Amino acid sequence: MKEKKLKTANEIELVDSSSAESADKIQSPRDANFESQPFDNTLESNQAGDETSLAQESPKEMASFIKANRTAPQEDNLVGKIIGGHYEILAFIGQGGMSRVYKAKHLLLKRYVAIKLLAFDRQFDSRSLARFQKEAEAAIELQHLNICSTREFGVNEEGSPFLVMDYLEGTSLADILSNETHLPQQRALDIMEGICAGLEHAHAAGVIHRDIKPANIILAKDKSGSEAVKIVDFGIAKLIREDESGPDLTQTGEVFGTPKYMSPEQCLGKKVDQRADIYALGCIFYEMLSGFPPFCNDSSIQILFAHVNDEPASLKPSCGKQVQAVLDRCLKKDASQRYLNVS
């Protein structure tokens, strides 16, 4: 059997959600203590000149608007400022490969929200804006108990596109695993149930997350005090189209995701579907049970090679035959051999 070969480092552009130097860190509200709060979906009329709706503009028109209105890079001096006419920036939360996330307050509704602002150090070309707009349109449609909701999107006064999301109080699964090493099997299964429910809803809407990992799973408290699983950051989500027309938002050779949780087809820069999320789900389940992901290495490229060519170590007998069978199927190299869906 011919061995699968991964492109060399010179042949692919790895867009890790955090940076090329880190194999596991990512933009995520990991340090924030959030709780989902009710949010009025009826947004006020925009004050004249305060903000421009991305939904009414083409990517090229948006790029022209941003170029005309863009100010100098602002580092983190947005704290204390008003964007979008009615969002006061309260604190910086974190940064990813394409955006920065801030805690903010809706001055009219008196609600705390998270603002995801397109990073100033990126070029605002029509392709990146088309990806951002597709993300917003897809994310706003996802309303589910196990998904952190996106509420609004637009362009701020300085010409940067932004998303408005629910502000959650909780702890990321990544932080929990860093403190507890691994989880009891029943708790891991309970968390998996919540993630699967959220992903089932997203996949049914034609949305793939493509960056499922512990840092993007927040364990919050609901009103009853019970633990609620929330999937955050559909930041590089891809809307599945029935036709292949329209802008190519994921160019061949450009790899998106976090290496430790990327499917083999993702590592190879191939087109992905919901089974890529299922592979990542298997990686998370494996890590919750064992305390480490299926493949570990200081080099992101070596981790990508491992996902394509190597088999993870079995967790039997500690996890039991049935659980091991689930892990094995989720982590199949060939996507056609994985579960078709998470239901």
According to the model, what pLDDT value does residue 78 have?
86
Residue 88's CB: how many other CB atoms inside 10 A?
16
Which 3 state secondary structure label does DSSP give 138?
helix
Question: Is 211 among the catalytic positions?
Answer: yes
The domains spanning 13-27+171-337 and 54-166 adopt the same CATH topology? no
Where are the domains positioned within the chain?
Answer: 13-27+171-337, 54-166
Instruction: Give the residue ranges of the chain where pLDDT is below 50.
Output: 1-56, 66-67, 70-75, 239-253
In Å, what is the CA distance from 99 to each residue of 89, 160, 235, 333?
A: 15, 10, 9, 31
Q: With 0-12 CB in 10 A as exposed, 13-18 as middle and 19+ as buried, what is 216?
A: buried
In 3D space, the residue among 278, 142, 280 whose CA is nearest the CA of residue 207 turns out to be 142
DSSP structural state of residue 27: S
Are 96 and 79 in contact by the 8 Å Cβ rule? The answer is no
Angle at 15 between CA 17 and CA 70, to 5 degrees: 80
According to the model, what pLDDT value does residue 28 have?
34
- Catalytic-role residue among 16, 24, 166, 211: 211
Distance CA 189, CA 187 (A): 5
Classify domain 13-27+171-337 at the CATH topology level: Transferase(Phosphotransferase); domain 1 (1.10.510)
- What pTM did the predictor assign? 0.72
According to the model, what pLDDT value does residue 116 have?
85
Query: Beta 82-83 vs 87-95: how paired, if at all?
Result: antiparallel
Per-residue tokens: 254 = 């450009």
Distance CA 146, CA 341 (A): 17
Distance CA 284, CA 3 (A): 26
Preceding omega of 317 cis (within 30 degrees of 0)? yes
Residue 155's CB: how many other CB atoms inside 10 A?
22
CATH of 54-166, one of 3.20.20.120, 3.30.200.20, 3.20.20.220, 3.40.50.1220: 3.30.200.20
Are 20 and 300 in contact by the 8 Å Cβ rule? The answer is yes
In 3D space, the residue among 253, 257, 255, 260 whose CA is nearest the CA of residue 300 turns out to be 260
According to the model, what pLDDT value does residue 276 have?
95
Q: Which residue type, as a one-letter code, is found at position 133?
A: Q
- In tens, the pLDDT along 269-278 reads 888 999 999 9
Angle at 236 between CA 39 and CA 241, to 5 degrees: 95
- In tens, the pLDDT along 4-54 reads 444 433 343 333 444 333 333 333 333 333 333 333 333 333 333 344 344
Are 98 and 128 in contact by the 8 Å Cβ rule? The answer is yes
According to the model, what pLDDT value does residue 71 have?
44
Q: Where are the alpha helices (DSSP H) in the chain?
A: 59-69, 126-140, 173-180, 185-204, 264-267, 274-290, 300-309, 321-330
Are 211 and 26 in contact by the 8 Å Cβ rule? The answer is yes
